[in-house]
Structure 1
Amino acid sequence: MIKPSKPELNGTFGAVASTHWLATATGMALLESGGNAFDAAVAAGFVLQVVEPQSNGFGGDLAAVFYEAAADQVWVVCGQGPMPRAATERAFDELGLTQIPGSGLLPATVPGSFGGWLQLLAECGTKTVREVLDPAISYAAHGYPLLPEAARAITLLAPLFRNHWFGSAEVYLAGGVPTGGSKMRNPWLAATLTRLVKEAEAASTDRLGQIEAAHRAFYSGFVAEAMSEFASGTEVLDATGQQHRGLIDADDLAGWQPTIEPSASIGYRGHTVHKPGSWTQGPVFLQQLALLEGFDLSSIDHNSGEYVHLVCEAAKLALADREAWYGDPTHGSDPLPVLLSPEYTAMRRTLLGTTANLDPRPGSVAGRAPRLVTPVVDTPVADPEWLAQIHEGVPNLVLAATIKSGDTCTVSVTDRWGNAVAAVPSGGWLKSSPVIPGLGISLGTRGQAMWLSNPEHPNALRPGKRPRTTLSPTVVVGDGAALAFGTPGGDRQDQWTVASLLAVIDHGWDLQSATEAGMFCSDHFPTSFAPHASRPGVVSIEENVGEATIGELRARGHRVAVAPAWSMGKVCMVSSGGPHGFVRAGASPRGHQAYAAVR
């Protein structure tokens, strides 16, 4: 085991770990006030959507996996909104587009995060709309310390905001170009959230009635009206370098409801691992574990060349299947009964060799040939630099000569009753589309993940269909404990979190040590973000994993890209129960902003 930078936190009352210290503190405050893990996760999640505007927002998406201890059941919250009814292949063809752009209004889906959080609150929480929104309102109204990453993004995008995205300029350039650590406010957002609370309380004195009223105000009331009017009435400069109106309208918003769904799950060494379904990339995690269960990983030195090679090769086979078979299962058949079956797994496991597979291919499902998509060759936009940035659909800044996976945020909570929840909110970030005047909200751009070039593909564009999302929280139940975790990282999430879970289960590491394990991932396949870049055969690995491992990977035929130490992901983990009955937590030191708290 490595020597972690700080100890795993242990307690008896509750544990919160998130990618921002203010969200972690908010979650713990909700637990202290008598709330449960679900109340705490919702309140913390709303704070994340204020204080990490470079990574998520109220116009974005949500996936959450949660464990109800009393019922001993795991469920999934789907806060991934669908494409608008007007989002057809013909609509994009008439605009001369062969890809859905990564910014602007054209890729906007129904914002699902707000409804998803409310659904979790209604199903399992105990607090009111006011109680879970008040912290977010306070930070939006009175200010929060701007993260350096957000300040860099605003500085680079300032010309775009001033000259084209005027609502964004009103919020992010109100006091001039900000610096890291400066106080940032979003008065429009504070007013929007305050009005949602007031309309909820005016509509009902009942907690559930207020939650329903808040949902109506957002999706059928004043928020939906402002979103629809802006999208249909405003031409916005986007990733194409041209101006376009949006496709989303009030009917799209009014017609959507979040859902509570069964999880996708498999057994792994006496534990049951739960993920969202194939509308996310989450089952990639399960497929990797199914393949790796055939090997005694505990007997292989952690992060040795042999170990990293094996884990990466399993990831490539799982990601190959993602590319061919994953998509909204309500618009086609669900591939998971085949992809997670012992027979299919055993067949795929035979493909794991001792050298790098530089052309990993998907398998066949029910005798059908896999649907493959060749990404359209994209011409990068280099000048001005801000246009190059919005041309890339990832939330974070894209550095020269670097393919950097999209960032987002995460929160995990457990409480003294044994409940646990892991959530990954994303979308609606400051680089996605303009702030809507009066609302303080940017629409999300998850539609960019869908394909236009192959109408038969499971992730092909269809009106009312959910794009396949990268959001991928995890809950693991076993040994009398519930472990909940997630990480930012776009397409890489389900490789970095696999690395942490293997450290816990196969090598017996504590949670903090597991979040600090040296990270690696395959970048072979196209990203889910426009322009869908890839690096065939490349394994990215942090330099702190060590020269011996890096050298062996090259000897095995991998194309190795060495990344700076402590640069990949921000895994946040919590656990309830276990052999000593403590709640536990760990948060990665990467990025210097993720924090865990335990009492």
Structure 2
Amino acid sequence: MRNYLLLLLALTVSGSMQAQQTQKPPLHGKHWMAVTGKPLAATAGAMIFQRGGNAVDAACAMLAATCTMWDVLSWGGETQALIYNPKTGKVIAINALGVAPTGATPQFFKGKGYDFPPEYGPLAAVTPGTPGGLCHMLANYGTMSLKEVLAPAMEMAAGYPIEAQTANSLERGKNHIKQWPYSKAVFLTHPGEKREAPEAGEIFVQKDLLATLTKMVEAEQQALKNHKSRKEAIMAAYDRFYKGDIAKEFVRGCQEQGGLITLEDLSRWKPLEEEPLHVNYKGIEVYKLQEWTQGPAMLQSLNILENFDLKAMGYNSAQYIHTLYQTMNLAFADRDFYYGDPYFNKDRAITGLLNKEYARARAATINTAHNDAAAGPGDPYKYMGKSNPYLHLLDDRRQFMDSTNGRKPGGFLPKHDAAALLTPTATGNIYAAGNSDSAYQDRLWRGTTSVEAADKDGWVVSITPSGGWIPACIAGKTGVGMSQRLQSFVLDSAICPFNVIAPGKRPRVTLTPSMALKDGKPYLSFAVQGGDTQDQNLLQFFLNVVEFGMTVQQATEAANINTNQLWLSLGGTTVSERIPRPGSILLNSNTPQKTRSTLEQMGYHLSFGDRTSGPVNAIYLDRTHQSLWGGSSNHGEDYGISW
């Protein structure tokens, strides 16, 4: 393995884009490509392509299939997408994230003793977004009917051989699952036995979910019989989910188990089509969703990194790793403080955050010899010609994050957080978080999946769906697992004034599809699972291709680093479980000893993993040969099919 990595490094540093040996073979396609987090779901996409569908049709089929397979998402979760439309030459952003329900206020959750909304159960739920997002994408940019696109998922709901990862997740989560009667009935197929969850390979049947999907298809088909257009018929299925009998049962089942979602919450919600954000990095236009996601943190990082000669540093040299780490810390500090639902924030900072002059100023603050444990948010408003309305909160925050001045958090943390005050460990560069490293890493990496699709006609799709993962609370007899995304809100403006929970508001999420255009044409489509590490891994994947000449498969497998010097977005209901860990860094186990020693001297606290590549899924559009290259990391179950 070590010799392989050294060979890979030599090849990539030389700038070669020729195919080289990788642990998984690269995908090559002429007509279409489908890549996602589950092999069966990739097959669903391939089936739709073979039946004449475009990349949007196939992406919707893969989305439906992954939702039906649980583990990292389900039908009650959320969908975020970028779509390149070859007819207009534009990148379209889809916001299908649910909102906080009626009654979801800071006072409500503080009254229950929470510092953050809960991780699991009905009180963790935002309104479902994936059914609406899928219908919107299919109706506006697909070519097929909902009946055709949902056919693979419906066949799976009728019974499919469950894979080991999901089956074992159900067994591990069964104590949670037993709290919720509808989840227990679906997931624990062997009640009272030593193993109550399905075994790997067992045919897993979801009658209630199949009934829900059938109702949506029935609504579509009835509308077609009534001479409605394809788009109108698909939206009739949408209405049945959000306003009809499915909605009523969803709300009944949610509220019966203690949830807050109302019929009005469902009927008022709708997916949004937006302008994506983008920056130019050395002639390549990189696109992300708006700051209701963490996606702009990658754009900020690219703006900062333009000010350094990364290629001269060398792939994963100590100086390169240090520069990446410091850059990501600055970008994520801004994410942690300035990002949130733009429809609720009149004082948006995103224009300043993506300003090139702001990036140059941030780059100039980087200490090239040592980690900055006190790196915090900047002041982007001066680059917008405005005064920063949150300077008083920034002052409090800087005092709190400065681990060398001996001050206590004081005004930064609300009174109810007093028990969570932290002290530095003996190393001086990592905070003790009051929980095990394994629990922390689970929260940092908490999974989702990704969907990538492209076709010969130029349609390209990148989706990062999530929510409703195991252990999921199912809403009544719908078979639909509720999202757990409410936990990504904060309850105090001192942590992030833009992301304080409120009814009808979207939380700031980690989910972050990506797309890049070169010379006005699609160049890369890429996404990854992994909570707060998503834009860290995607940034490095992009640099692997653009700076170090790796093929798309090499770039998905290449060793990445992760920073823990950020506020966790998922998991834990106390400040001590979410607070940044300055200087804490994850490296690949094959990192040379000289690099390790240099980083320790720079103030880092090191941890290691055998596979630190993502898992990233990606498509490279080869304009020279008019073909498609696919990459899927060797990290997990991610899989692709092409033709």
Report the CA distance shift for 1:296/1:580 in structure 2 as closer, same or farther (over 3 A): farther
Please name the residue that 1:8 is paired with: 26
Q: Secondary structure at the match of 1:114?
A: helix
Choose which of 476, 490, 494 in structure 1 pairs with 2:516: 476
Counterpart in the other structure of 1:238: none
Matching of residue 463 in structure 1 with residue 503 in structure 2: yes
> Secondary structure of 1:584's partner?
strand
**1:432-458 deviations in Å (ceiling 9; x for gaps):** x42233211111121111111227710
Q: Does 1:550 align with 2:596?
A: yes
Shift of 1:158: 2.1
Aligned CA distance change for structure 1 residues 250 and 179 (closer, same or farther; 3 Å): same
Distance 1:21 1:476, change over 3 A: same
Which of residues 204, 208, 211 in structure 2 aligns to 1:184? 204
User: What is the match of residue 384 of structure 1?
Assistant: none
Amino acid at match of 1:465: K
Q: Which moved more, 1:102-111 or 1:478-487?
A: 478-487
Q: Is the 8 A contact 2:279 2:286 kept in 1?
A: yes
Q: Distance in 1 between matches of 2:419 and 2:356?
A: 39
Letter in 1 for 2:187: Y
Q: 2-side partners of 1:16 and 1:28: how far apart?
A: 6
Q: CA deviation at 1:82?
A: 1.1
Q: In the alignment, residue 596 of structure 1 is paired with which amino acid?
A: G
Tell me the alpha carbon deviations over residues 37-95 of structure 1, each in whole angstroms, 9 at most, x when there is no partner: 111111111101012x1200111011111111221100110011111132123333443
1:211 aligned partner: 234
Residues 454-463 or 472-481, more deviating: 454-463
Cα distance change of structure 1 residues 446 and 6 upon mapping to structure 2, 3 Å threshold:
closer
Q: Which moved more, 1:517-526 or 1:184-193?
A: 184-193
Q: 2:640 aligns with which of 584, 596, 599?
A: 596
Tell me, in whole angstroms, the C-alpha distance in 1 between the residues paired with 2:86 and 2:558: 29
Report how far residue 213 of structure 1 moved: 0.6
Deviates more, 1:2-11 or 1:506-515: 2-11
Aligned-pair identity in percent equals: 30
2:547 alignment partner in structure 1: 506
* Secondary structure in 2 matching 1:272: strand
- 1:378 Cα deviation after fit: 7.9
Matched letter for residue 9 of structure 1: L
CA shift, 1:545, in A, is 3.8
Cα distance, 1:351 vs structure 2: 1.4
Aligned to 2:217: 197
Higher alpha-carbon deviation: 260-269 or 175-184: 175-184
Kept in 2, the 8 Å contact 1:418–1:577? The answer is no
Unaligned runs of 5+ in 1: 235-244, 380-391
Which range moves more in the overlay, 367-376 or 171-180?
367-376
- Counterpart amino acid of residue 633 in structure 2: S
Q: Summarize the Cα distance change of 1:257–1:562 in structure 2 as closer, same or farther, 3 Å threshold.
A: same
Change in 2 beyond 3 A, CA 1:544/1:188: farther
Match of 1:221 in 2: 244
Unaligned runs of 5+ in 2: 1-7, 10-20, 191-195, 382-386, 398-411, 421-432
Are residues 1:561 and 2:578 paired? no
Which residue is equivalent to 1:389? Answer: none
> What SS does structure 1 have at the residue aligned with 2:124?
coil
2:592 and 2:448 map into 1 onto residues whose CA distance is: 27
AA at the equivalent of 1:221: G
Query: What's the CA shift for 1:102?
Result: 1.2
Equivalent of residue 463 in structure 2, options 417, 423, 427: 423
Larger radius of gyration: 2
Which range is displaced more, 451-460 or 263-272? 451-460
Is it true that 1:153 corresponds to 2:169 in the alignment?
yes
Which secondary structure does the structure 2 equivalent of 1:64 belong to? strand
CA contact (8 A) 2:24 2:634 kept: no
8 Å contact kept, 2:49–2:55 = yes
528, 535, 540: which one aligns with 2:581: 535
Q: Which residue of 1 aligns with 2:474?
A: 435
Structure 2 CA distance for aligned equivalents of residues 470 and 288 of structure 1: 16
**More displaced stretch, 370-379 vs 351-360:** 370-379
Specify which of 17, 28, 38 is matched with residue 35 of structure 2. 17
CA distance in 2, matches of 1:529, 1:183: 32
Q: State how far apart, in whole Å, the 2-side matches of 1:573 and 1:546 are.
A: 28
SS of 2:122 mapped into structure 1: coil
Write the letter of the residue equivalent to 2:638: A
Equivalent AA in structure 2 for residue 283 of structure 1 = P
Structure 2 counterparts to residues 94-173 of structure 1, below 5 A: 94-148=111-165, 150-162=166-178, 164-173=179-188
CA contact (8 A) 1:121 1:127 kept: yes
Range with greater deviation from structure 2 (456-465 or 276-285): 456-465
2-structure distance, mates of 1:568, 1:512: 11
2:469 corresponds to 1:449: no
- Indicate which of 24, 44, 50 corresponds to 1:26: 44
CA drift at 1:140: 1.2
Equivalent residues, number: 567
Q: Does 2:386 match 1:347? A: no
Correspondence for 2:378: 363
Query: What is the distance in 2 between the residues matched to 1:37 and 1:281?
Result: 25
In the alignment, which of 323, 343, 353 is matched to residue 336 of structure 2? 323
Question: Is the CA contact (8 Å cut-off) linking 1:146 and 1:184 kept in structure 2?
Answer: no
Q: What is the deviation of 1:400?
A: 5.4
CA contact (8 A) 2:254 2:475 kept: no
CA distance in 2, matches of 1:152, 1:133: 26
CA distance in 1: counterparts of 2:581 and 2:522, whole angstroms = 39
Over 3 Å counting, the alpha-carbon distance change for 1:543 and 1:374 in structure 2 is farther
Encode CA deviations 1:406-437: one digit per residue, 9 max, x unaligned: 11100101100122111011001122x42233
Q: Offset of 1:32 from its aligned partner?
A: 1.8
| 8 A contact 1:100–1:530 mirrored in 2 | no
SS state at 1:97 partner: coil
In structure 2, distance between residues paired with 1:547 and 1:25: 43
Deviation at 1:578, TM superposition (A): 2.3
- 1:242: which partner in 2? none
Amino acid at match of 1:129: L
> 1:559: Cα distance to partner?
1.4
Q: CA RMSD in A?
A: 2.1
Distance 2:118 2:101 in 1: 15
SS at match of 1:16: strand
- Is the 2:557–2:613 Cα contact (8 Å) retained in structure 1? no
